[in-house]
Amino acid sequence: MRKMLAASAVAMMAASMAVPAQAATVVRFAHMNSPEHFVHVAAQSMADSVAERSNGEIKVELFPSGQLGENGAVTEQMSFGAEVMGQVGIGMLADYAPDYSIVLYPFLYPDFDGAKRLLASDLIKELEAKVAENNIKVLCYAHFGVRDLYTRDKEVRSPGDSNGLSIRVQPVTIYTEMVRLVFGGAATPMPWPDVYSALAQGVIDAAEAPPSAMIDQKHFENTKFFIQTNHMTDIVPVTVSASWFNNLSAENQAIFQEEATIACDSMTDASIASYEAGIQTLADSGMTIISDVDREAFAERAGGIASAFPEWTDGLYDRAKAIVDGQ
């Protein structure tokens, strides 16, 4: 009996000294794209790598196709401290730091190297600090595509051709002003998942997006003309609730940041590679590709967009342009 009691005591002591298994901390990765889109593919790879490198201490759950709401709602959830991350839009960050809109200024970048210079600059670091005050941590940026115009049945080669078109846009000022001033159209904000049916029913005349995004949503089924306006280099941030990130150990913070950066780089590579292939896919799908576009005429109209942002810091556009141009 004494031996049994002694063995029981030893077992109880061992159990009391055992370290409980670390429960995984979970973050939900939300985005508006389909599970086949390069954003989701990169996010899945990130989730797998983070789980492996953190020994299961971090679990990234994926929610594609707007399952957690529009980008604005997802960003707001982060600011409130929800355990959420996402590939959102620059316009969402501009709600907290208005100067952020400069990143999407139409016809600003001669090439992606110019965009990378701006994203690595002190100007952007200042803006990241401002949104961090609202509990939003910017992890990295990705090239989402070069945005072009596409229409149900109207050929467009110059600003006069796009006057009066009802064009779907994100509910963000930089987009609505671009449609008004550059295209001379009527900006029609609506959720991305609704655009397919709006084009099919003639609720809108046109939309604008990178080829990969409109192919992802099969918009080519309801449009005839794809116009290579190349009006905007779409830069998207990947963000996370700062309070969630700050509760990670220093080691896991480093892992999470490194894997997010790898994911953004993967998205960028896929996006850039997808442009010409996307144009060919659209042509093969029966769309007419219009490449002889008077881009200079459209670009000249873009100069007036800055006046729609009285809340911008004085000299913001000139400062950003100098950085982009390497001055």
pLDDT tens sequence across 156-170: 999 999 999 999 998
Q: Is the model more confident about 4 or about 189? A: 189
**145 C-beta neighbours (distance < 10 Å), count:** 25
pLDDT of residue 11: 45
Q: What is the pLDDT of the chain when averaged over all its residues?
A: 92
pLDDT tens sequence across 204-224: 999 999 999 999 999 999 999
pLDDT tens sequence across 67-76: 999 999 999 9
pLDDT tens sequence across 243-296: 999 999 999 999 999 999 999 999 999 999 999 999 999 999 999 999 999 999
Q: What is the DSSP letter of 182?
A: I
Tokens standing for residue 171? 């509910």
Question: What does the angle CA 65 – CA 66 – CA 68 come to, to the nearest 5 degrees?
Answer: 130
